[in-house]
Amino acid sequence: MGRRYDPDRRQRIIDAAIRVVGRKGIGGLSHRSVAAEADVPLGSTTYHFTTLDELLVAALRQSNEGFAKVVAAGGAFADPRADVAGELARLLGEWFAGERAGIELEYELYLAALRRPALRPVAAEWCAGLAELLGRRTDPATARGLVALMDGICLQVLITGGEYDEVYARETFARLLRPEPGAAPDA
């Protein structure tokens, strides 16, 4: 019997890796566990992803796309009249209104970059991309600060098991966005 053409196999492997990490954590990820989850031969996982780091990079990149789509769909950062603080708080609220396990998974993959240098460029891409989008409405330093604040708020909610507080988030973002006393207003 000839080799079966399976154009979606690589994607199924990435999706399976995300499910495995979601259930077992990164420590439970192996080529074997992913192959079983994706219902593909073990050789398929190593063919598409030589190392687990390559597979984690693909999983993190795909996970990052979820929040990026939420942000891009809002379109408010292109509107100069939009309330940036309110829009950021609302977007985080939408994100937290979804499946919490998915957010936890995204942060687990994101924080894995601490121990897995191969993941760092993908984590940095996410931060830079979001800062660039926010930079359309503020200066680069404030945009980076907003990204860091978003991460901090999200991590606090996830780690403490608390509820996302949109009012608190909006006020905190607004404080960061307020011009320094004596600073010239944006033109």
Q: Given this model, what pLDDT does residue 2 score?
A: 45
The reported pLDDT for the residue numbered 4 is 66
Structural domain of 36: 7-50
Q: Is residue 182 part of a domain?
A: no
State residue 152's pLDDT score: 95
Structure confidence at residue 150 (pLDDT): 94
Give the number of domains in the chain.
2
CATH of residue 78's domain is 1.10.357.10
Residue 3: predicted pLDDT = 55
Residue 185 lies in a domain: no
Per-residue model confidence (pLDDT) at position 183: 56
Residues 123 and 84 in one domain: yes
pLDDT at 139: 92
Question: Looking at residue 81, what is its pLDDT?
Answer: 84
Q: Which residues of the chain have pLDDT under 70?
A: 1-4, 76, 180-187
Residue 130 lies in a domain: yes
Residue 125 sits in the same domain as residue 173: yes
Closest of 131, 35, 136 to residue 78, by C-alpha = 136
Do 16 and 62 reside in the same domain of the chain?
Answer: no
Lookup: tokens for 180: 């320094």
DSSP designation for 112: G
What's the confidence (pLDDT) of residue 187?
42
128-159 pLDDT per residue, tens: 988 988 888 889 999 999 999 999 999 999 99
Tell me: do 97 and 78 sit in the same domain. yes
Helix axis angle, 31-38 to 9-24, nearest 10°: 110
- 105 lies in a domain? yes
Do 108 and 142 touch, CB atoms closer than 8 A?
Answer: no
Is the Cβ–Cβ distance between 16 and 7 less than 8 Å? Answer: no
